[in-house]
Amino acid sequence: MFFNYAIGLRTSLMVTLASVIALIVDADDPWWAAMSAMTVANADWTNVWRKGIQRVIGTIAGGFSGYWIAVAVKNYEVFQMIAVGCLAALAIYKRMASPNYAYAWLMGIVTAMLAIYISLLEIDLLFYLMVDRTITVAIGVMTAAVVSYYFLEETSLGVGVGPYLTPNIDTMDKSWVIALCLSGAAVAMLAPIIYVGHELAAMVQIIITSLVVLYGPVVSVKKFALNRSLGCLIGGLMGFGLIGLGLQSFFWWALLLAIGLFFLASVHHGKSYWAYAGTQGGYAFVIAALASAGPVDNFNQVIDRLVGVVLGAVIAICVLIVVRIWQGADFPDIEHINQKKARKPRVKKT
């Protein structure tokens, strides 16, 4: 089932509500609320609760630790690069080694890395920006929880989550795990260099994309890369269309936002190979729509996000290939094909 319209409608409602609330409280980055609501959206109430708590706790812990790390290394560029590299490697490893709390680890470390990246430009505003991010994340999570509770309090429906995989790190090739961690660290340290000439959003998307893509076995890396790239392209184009209209009416802007989210969320909750593309498309769409805190045409934010996503996926794969060659392994796709052939039982000819 490619679309799931029933759950897509509910997700559209909660993300739109989260966006409006974030705009009402005048959050600096209101799209974090919308992204948080879409991230924790799930057909099962217990999953909404579990994922929401992990996102909030991870954000708070990451913001607190990241703030103090950023303050400690603010005048030492070498230590700043080492810090983000180590954090990226830790994020990739813990996502695979701690599946029950993988999302909390990912959100916590991403927030900590974000604090360090922000400190490169705006150390004086760092504390305020971390508090603002935590509040907007909490708005999105609470909105998703309330909507889910009233719609699905008595249900235990399941939902397809597309390419999400829970890899067993104990069964994975140790050299592959090391390659993923080293590649993530390298991309994290390269991001501030590549980001020059773009907004902070581009640099952040480079590292977030690399952490998403560099996860699990070879087939998982390929799937995440394809889904994230395609989803961001579609969501970005939809966002261009919305902000290109230059709507000044908040009602019509919110209505079109909800309609776009309905389509993307329906894909997001489907059970196809491309379900994760709907997730990423939703992220790109809300960032474009909320880039100017309402119905104002501003293309810069969505362009920077798309640039960052494309660079992040390409750089992550290229660095991974270089690391695998350095390890003496085959090209990743060839290696995966060889592993499949090795597992395929031989049939004797008669």
Q: If pLDDT is split at 50, 70 and 90, which confidence band does 349 have? A: very low
Q: What is residue 127's predicted lDDT score, i.e. its pLDDT? A: 85
Q: If pLDDT is split at 50, 70 and 90, which confidence band does 330 have? A: low
Q: What is residue 219's predicted lDDT score, i.e. its pLDDT? A: 78
Q: How far apart are CA 305 and CA 307, in angstroms?
A: 5
Q: How far apart are CA 35 and CA 28, in angstroms?
A: 14
- Quick one: tokens of 188? 């994290």
> In Å, what is the CA distance from 280 to each residue of 52, 76, 210, 243?
18, 35, 14, 18
231 near 162, Cβ under 8 Å?
no
Q: What is residue 152's predicted lDDT score, i.e. its pLDDT? A: 59
- Output the CA angle 320-54-199, nearest 5 degrees: 55
- In the three-class reduction of DSSP (H, G, I as helix; E, B as strand; rest coil), residue 291 is classed as coil
- In the three-class reduction of DSSP (H, G, I as helix; E, B as strand; rest coil), residue 140 is classed as helix
Q: What is the pTM of this model?
A: 0.77
pLDDT in tens, 3-13: 888 888 888 99
Higher per-residue pLDDT: 157 or 144: 144
Q: Who's near 254: CB < 8 A, 6+ residues apart? A: 16, 19, 20
Residue 98 predicted with pLDDT over 80:
yes
Q: Which helix (H) or strand (E) holds 224?
A: helix 218-244
Q: What is residue 158's predicted lDDT score, i.e. its pLDDT? A: 37
pLDDT in tens, 34-81: 888 888 776 566 677 777 888 889 989 999 999 999 999 888 888 989
Q: DSSP characters for 37-84? A: HHHH--SSHHHHHHHHHHHHHHHHHHHHHHHHHHHHTTT-HHHHHHHH
- Output the CA angle 22-25-29, nearest 5 degrees: 50
Q: Who's near 32: CB < 8 A, 6+ residues apart? A: 22, 133, 136, 137, 140
First to last CA, the chain: 41
Q: How many CA atoms lie within 13 A of 107 on its CB side?
A: 24
Q: How far apart are CA 8 and CA 203, in angstroms?
A: 30
